[in-house]
Amino acid sequence: MSAKYAGKLGVLQRVLPTYRAPFFDMLAEACQGGLSMCAGQPRLSEGIKITRELKVANFTPVHNIHLLGGSLYLCWQTPDALIVEANPRYLSTLPALRWMKTRSRPVIGWGLGSPPLPGPMADMRRSGRLDFVHQFDALLTYSQRGAAEYKELGYPAERIFVAPNAVAPRPQHMIQERPPFFKDRPCLLFVGRLQHRKRLDLLLRACASLPAEMQPRLVLVGDGPERQALELLASQVYPSAEFAGSRHGPDLMPFFAEADLFVLPGTGGLAVQEAMSHALPVIVAQGDGTQDDLVRPANGWQIPANDENALGATLRLALSDAACLRSMGLESYRIVSEEINLERMVEVFVEVLDQLGEK
């Protein structure tokens, strides 16, 4: 990666999830003046796995005071540019904006987008949201959907940039070749934490709804609070389901190698990009838009959330044509190799920083 930002960058985050640490270290390597960031702790109910260790970036933990969904931070830094979450509920953001503006230094907002607001006070809230985002020198968002929402809100399109949400670098391994047919029963794979929001109950029932000759081998890799309940449900509706327990790193490789299709029936799921790097087509539930650019008709399916019938119908379609699945898997590999990876995400951030620096 050759792109470099000449200045010093500050980042203010509510929390630092473990999966985001490689991105911030890679971004720090691209900042000649270094990168310093502050982040606090999540609510106990959120179940977010966080880290307080970065290998390249300088990290300062701060205490989050959760007020009505927001956080109050104390953060003393002197960066040349600052990246903050574009969320008005975080009470530290406005003081940080004012501090940077008095020193004529740019502030970049980083957010999911600006979905339509419901309710009788929607117009007033929309106006307040627009006033808030107008204070940023640029907006970075994860997806084209997010960019369209910020544009619809009224923020200038030329100051909106898309850095596709990535959690893994470009794959370094070669594409695994699979025959244009299923060797035995097709193998469906899920990798992730076994919790309610992953909706693995729907996946078990959807597999059971398939004709007997189409029912796949279902492998669930992971552990979590729902494991016991899921094992009980599986014994009732899909006894052949395999619970492999928690696996990480090299221990995951055999599971990806044996799979024909990766399925994420609920929200979250960091393993989607890893599955794609192993040339697997994917089925994911629709969410906040971060999957829109990653999962396309050419490499998989996005299905309505919490819809068992849609999941069953999509599984039936996917498992009816092995050769088509192989082609879709190759497109998955191309997407994470060329378009959506940590290297490309960092490049977009550096491009925005450089543009603001020139101004």
Q: Give residue-wise pLDDT tens across range 6-50.
A: 999 999 888 899 989 999 999 999 999 999 998 888 877 777 888
Reported as half-sphere exposure (CB side, CA atoms, 13 A), residue 222 has a value of: 19
Do 319 and 198 sit in the same domain of this protein? Answer: yes
pLDDT over threshold 80, residue 71 = no
Query: Is 179 part of a structural domain of the chain?
Result: no
Q: How far apart are CA 302 and CA 321, in angstroms?
A: 18
Do 157 and 210 sit in the same domain of this protein? Answer: no
Q: What is the DSSP code (8-state) at residue 292? A: T
In sequence order, the 6+-apart residues with CB closer than 8 A to the CB of 104 are none
Band (pLDDT 50/70/90 cuts) for residue 66 is low
Q: Is 262 helix (H, G, I), strand (E, B) or coil?
A: strand
Do 329 and 351 sit in the same domain of this protein? Answer: no
pLDDT over threshold 60, residue 67 = no
| Helices 21-29 and 342-358: angle between axes, nearest 10 degrees | 50
Do 30 and 58 sit in the same domain of this protein? Answer: yes
pLDDT of residue 1: 54
pLDDT over threshold 90, residue 88 = no
Range of the domain at 274: 187-338
pLDDT of residue 151: 96
Give the tens place of pLDDT for each residue, 272-317: 999 999 999 999 998 766 788 899 999 999 999 899 999 999 999 9
Are the C-beta atoms of residues 15 and 48 closer than 8 Å to each other? Answer: yes
Query: Is 175 part of a structural domain of the chain?
Result: no
Q: How far apart are CA 161 and CA 292, in angstroms?
A: 16
Query: Is 237 part of a structural domain of the chain?
Result: yes
Mean pLDDT over 310-326 rounds to 97
| Helices 308-318 and 200-209: angle between axes, nearest 10 degrees | 60
pLDDT of residue 41: 85
Q: Which amino acid is at 308?
A: E
Q: How far apart are CA 168 and CA 341, in angstroms?
A: 6
pLDDT of residue 352: 95
pLDDT over threshold 90, residue 322 = yes
pLDDT over threshold 60, residue 267 = yes
Q: How far apart are CA 294 and CA 273, in angstroms?
A: 8
Query: Is 30 part of a structural domain of the chain?
Result: yes
pLDDT of residue 350: 95
The domain that holds 346 is classified in CATH as 3.40.50.2000
Band (pLDDT 50/70/90 cuts) for residue 2 is low
Q: For 160-223, what is the HEC assignment?
A: EEECCCCCCCCCCCCCCCCCCCCCCCCEEEEECCCCHHHCHHHHHHHHHHCCHHHCCEEEEECC
Band (pLDDT 50/70/90 cuts) for residue 337 is very high
Mean pLDDT over 124-149 rounds to 93
Total of domains in the chain: 2
Q: Which amino acid is at 54?
A: L
User: To the nearest whole number, what is the mean pLDDT of the chain?
Assistant: 90
Give the tens place of pLDDT for each residue, 177-226: 899 999 889 999 999 999 999 999 999 999 999 999 999 999 999 999 99
pLDDT of residue 78: 54
pTM of the model: 0.86
Provide, rounded to the nearest whole percent, the portion of the chain with pLDDT above 70.
94
Band (pLDDT 50/70/90 cuts) for residue 68 is very low
The distance from CA 208 to its chain's CA centroid, rounded to whole angstroms, is: 29
Do 228 and 303 sit in the same domain of this protein? Answer: yes
pLDDT over threshold 80, residue 73 = no
Do 142 and 208 sit in the same domain of this protein? Answer: no
Are the C-beta atoms of residues 36 and 57 closer than 8 Å to each other? Answer: yes
> CA nearest 357: which of 3, 2, 7, 99?
7
| Helices 227-237 and 200-209: angle between axes, nearest 10 degrees | 10
pLDDT of residue 277: 95
Higher pLDDT among residues 41 and 270, named by residue: 41
Do 279 and 350 sit in the same domain of this protein? Answer: no
Do 103 and 159 sit in the same domain of this protein? Answer: yes
Per-residue tokens: 235: 């014994």
Do 59 and 206 sit in the same domain of this protein? Answer: no
Do 303 and 354 sit in the same domain of this protein? Answer: no
> CA nearest 223: which of 257, 246, 190?
246
Are the C-beta atoms of residues 92 and 67 closer than 8 Å to each other? Answer: no
Query: Is 1 part of a structural domain of the chain?
Result: no
Do 264 and 318 sit in the same domain of this protein? Answer: yes
Query: Is 146 part of a structural domain of the chain?
Result: yes
Do 252 and 349 sit in the same domain of this protein? Answer: no
Query: Is 98 part of a structural domain of the chain?
Result: yes
Query: Is 172 part of a structural domain of the chain?
Result: no
For the ranges 45-54, 145-154, 159-168, 228-237, the lowest mean pLDDT is seen at 45-54
CB 280: neighbour CB atoms within 10 A? 27
